Amino acid sequence: MIKRTLYFGNPAYLSCKLNQLVVKVKKDLTDIETSIPIEDIGVVLLDHSQITITHSVIKKLAKNKAVIISCNDQHMPATLMLPLEGHNTQSERYRHQINASLPLKKNLWQHTVEAKVRNQLKVLELLGRPTNRLEILIKRVQSGDPDNIEGQAAAFYWSHYLDGFIRDQFGDPPNNLLNYGYAILRAMVARSLVASGLLPTLGIHHKNKYNAYCLADDIMEPYRPFIDLLVFQMYEELGMESFLSKESKRELLSIATLDAQFQNKRSPLMVGMSLTTASVAQCFEGTKRKINYPVML
């Protein structure tokens, strides 16, 4: 089942009653209440300083493996709250993850880069851009990606994504939309990793000691092109006036429902993400050799 992603961008009071998230907002001086089953929720995004959330809601969401994202004054995701317990054999999976050998990690990173470049190629193909360079680079990815094929592919990819576009976290639009989409995607992947009994901190490639989500940053790489395509479509509609409105944020949250191919199974991204993270755990255990990444349709 697709878990719902809820966005709150106005003052609201969030409480819990009978396993329902109760949302109370004021409209024309009148209190209006709506309720949503807690079990249907995967992500809650809080984007207003006048939102109140009760401890009961936090406990219920954590029990049902949902995540809470809080935005800063610039309306960008800044805080991520994840459940500590996500799987019934969690300690065993932690042990396999911690003991994973370097050759295994290098092989998994090779598969990750291949999957990412393949989806980037598909994006350029859908946009009617040249893909010849990426077709060559995919075949050159080796264990651990010692030649930085990922970086070479990115340079070609972004130079053909939009005319004159430079991918820069602090650059002109649609960089702002990409940043926001990636932040949501990171939270979704971190949630799925925890649900599969894994530590989002211990990566297979990313190793920054200041980064608490190294594995999430690894596993989200092949998912990024889905955000890229969605942002391109939004940018085509909004042009240079694109900004992070409530409407654009809601549209970016729709990433969870986009369809992709996972081996022989077609599935929405949020559902398929559990297939990906479960396969990561199986690779650490030695029962699987490749991560089940999404293939763009």
Q: Is the pLDDT of residue 56 over 90?
A: yes
Within 8 A by CB and 6+ apart from 108, the residues are 204, 280, 283, 291
pTM, full prediction: 0.90
Helix (H, G, I), strand (E, B) or coil at 26: strand
Q: Angle 269-285/90-98 helices, nearest 10 degrees?
A: 70
Report the residue count for the chain: 297
| 185 or 239, which is more confident | 185
Mean pLDDT of 1-11: 89
Question: Mind giving me the DSSP string for 183-244?
Answer: HHHHHHHHHHHHHTT--TTS-SS---TT-TTHHHHHHTGGGHHHHHHHHHHHHHHHGGG---
Q: Is the pLDDT of residue 209 over 70?
A: yes
Q: Is the pLDDT of residue 242 over 70?
A: no
Domains and CATH numbers, the chain: 4-81 (3.100.10.20), 90-285 (1.20.120.920)
8-48 tens-digit pLDDT: 999 999 999 999 999 999 887 788 999 999 999 999 999 99
Q: Is the pLDDT of residue 116 over 60?
A: yes
Query: Which H helix or E strand runs over 126?
Result: helix 102-126
137-187 tens-digit pLDDT: 999 999 999 999 999 999 999 999 998 899 999 998 899 999 999 999 999
- What does the alpha-carbon distance between residue 137 and residue 152 come to, in Å, rounded to a whole number? 8
